[in-house]
Homo-oligomer: A and B are copies of this chain.
């Protein structure tokens, strides 16, 4: 064997998660999964690797460039998935006869994009999607917003805003100015509002759509409309727009119907706000769309976005299946929770560390650890009979609340000495039940 050492390293844009963060992530996923399940969404899994043609057809040009695509052992043209939506479309068409419609699924998994590496952007990241397929009803749109609200609330987030819009409102605005042909470029420019600011958007609209400065200004005036009052007031204020054209009427009616469903729920209706500038870059949205920003950390952008699309499975099937769904950007959300100090980080999940001073005491230590676990106190045994100071150092570093020491005297009398790692107070030679009491009362 060649004995040259290999430098341990990860690929640029890829990374490890150390225990504290991985544990926090697992807790987050457990909480959001529980929310998804409680609304009737069920998990599915699809492979990380797919035939490239499955992924390529629906991806944008940019995404095709970023695809991890290669030839496998059988010379098949394969690629790592870049999102969870295209695999969902493939999945639904392939298993159509096994699925019950409407179909509600969530999926948690990693996707891969060979983007240029930059701060906070990774080439492998975790997406957490939930979608409601096979119904045009606004009840679904309302439910997806409820799930976003419940998920973020379950994670301890309180101050966030779900910005809501409808594609038909933007379509209607452009149509109103006779720009039916330019909707796509228009949306692309509007989508940059947060990045480049209103002045630049106006200039770009003027230039790219070849319109007057006045027209560009009027468009900007409309797309920057944001709800500031209660939604019922707001819809009165902008009722005049319904007369502009059918698209605007449809968009506003859909939004109002959805808000009427949400109005009477525990969801804080003021955290859902209509914002005509929300375009969502992706071409496939056709109805209500939304983005979610954290009020105290707007700079990180949307942590959960989604909307309604008309024809999910069009690449694979002639059957029209519409749906509505959203995606939580988990890596971004974790970064935000950390920055807001909401994310609890723990070095260990166990509360007590059993410590022995002699190899002969391990059987007893494991028996005590087991008894603690059966009493719902997670516990572990320090594996080496070393100086107590060293074992306690481990407990300190990992964050155990208690060191439970088995020295010679304790072993002979079948007792335990319990050290509270925070206060430093040690109670000598007590029974198991007393130990349990000390731990439970802390």
On A, residues with C-beta under 8 Å from B are 2, 5-12, 14-20, 22-23, 25-26, 30, 33, 37-40, 42-51, 53-54, 57, 66, 68, 70-74, 76, 78, 80, 89-91, 93-95, 98-100, 102, 104-105, 110, 112, 114, 124, 132, 135, 137-140, 142-143, 146, 257, 260-266, 315-318, 347-350, 359, 362-367, 370, 373-374, 378-381, 383-385, 394, 397-398
> How many angstroms from the CA of A183 to the CA of B100 in the assembled complex?
57
| Contacting residues, chain B, for A105 (C-beta < 8 A) | 19
| Contacting residues, chain B, for A8 (C-beta < 8 A) | 54, 89-91, 93-94, 316-317
Pairs across A and B, CB under 8 Å, 30 listed: A5-B316, A8-B93, A9-B90, A9-B94, A10-B94, A12-B74, A18-B44, A18-B99, A19-B43, A19-B44, A22-B45, A25-B45, A26-B33, A37-B378, A39-B373, A40-B378, A40-B379, A42-B348, A42-B349, A47-B124, A66-B73, A102-B394, A137-B362, A137-B384, A138-B359, A139-B366, A139-B383, A143-B366, A261-B366, A266-B370
Are A16 and B124 touching (Cβ within 8 A)? Answer: no
Are A100 and B398 touching (Cβ within 8 A)? Answer: yes
Q: A23-B43, A114-B73, A349-B37 are in contact. Are A11 and B51 (CB under 8 A)?
A: yes
Are A350 and B40 touching (Cβ within 8 A)? Answer: yes
Contact among B2, B33, B363 with A260 in the assembled complex (CB-CB below 8 Å): B363
- Closest B residue to A68 using CB positions: B72
| Contacting residues, chain B, for A33 (C-beta < 8 A) | 26
> How many angstroms from the CA of A73 to the CA of B80 in the assembled complex?
13
A352 CB, nearest partner CB in chain B, Å: 10
Are A100 and B394 touching (Cβ within 8 A)? Answer: yes
| Contacting residues, chain B, for A57 (C-beta < 8 A) | 2, 6
| Contacting residues, chain B, for A12 (C-beta < 8 A) | 74
| Contacting residues, chain B, for A47 (C-beta < 8 A) | 10-11, 14-16, 124
| Contacting residues, chain B, for A374 (C-beta < 8 A) | 266
Are A37 and B350 touching (Cβ within 8 A)? Answer: yes
> How many angstroms from the CA of A363 to the CA of B6 in the assembled complex?
61
| Contacting residues, chain B, for A137 (C-beta < 8 A) | 359, 362, 383-385
Are B44 and A17 touching (Cβ within 8 A)? Answer: yes
Are B366 and A146 touching (Cβ within 8 A)? Answer: yes
Are B263 and A363 touching (Cβ within 8 A)? Answer: yes
Are B265 and A367 touching (Cβ within 8 A)? Answer: yes
The 4 closest A-B pairs by CB, nearest first: A40-B380, A70-B70, A19-B42, A17-B45
Q: A23-B43, A39-B380, A363-B264 are in contact. Are A5 and B146 (CB under 8 A)?
A: no
> How many angstroms from the CA of A315 to the CA of B95 in the assembled complex?
45
> How many angstroms from the CA of A68 to the CA of B80 in the assembled complex?
11
A123 CB, nearest partner CB in chain B, Å: 8
A400 CB, nearest partner CB in chain B, Å: 9
Are B50 and A11 touching (Cβ within 8 A)? Answer: yes
- Closest B residue to A313 using CB positions: B8
- Closest B residue to A150 using CB positions: B373
- Closest B residue to A14 using CB positions: B47
> How many angstroms from the CA of A359 to the CA of B9 in the assembled complex?
57
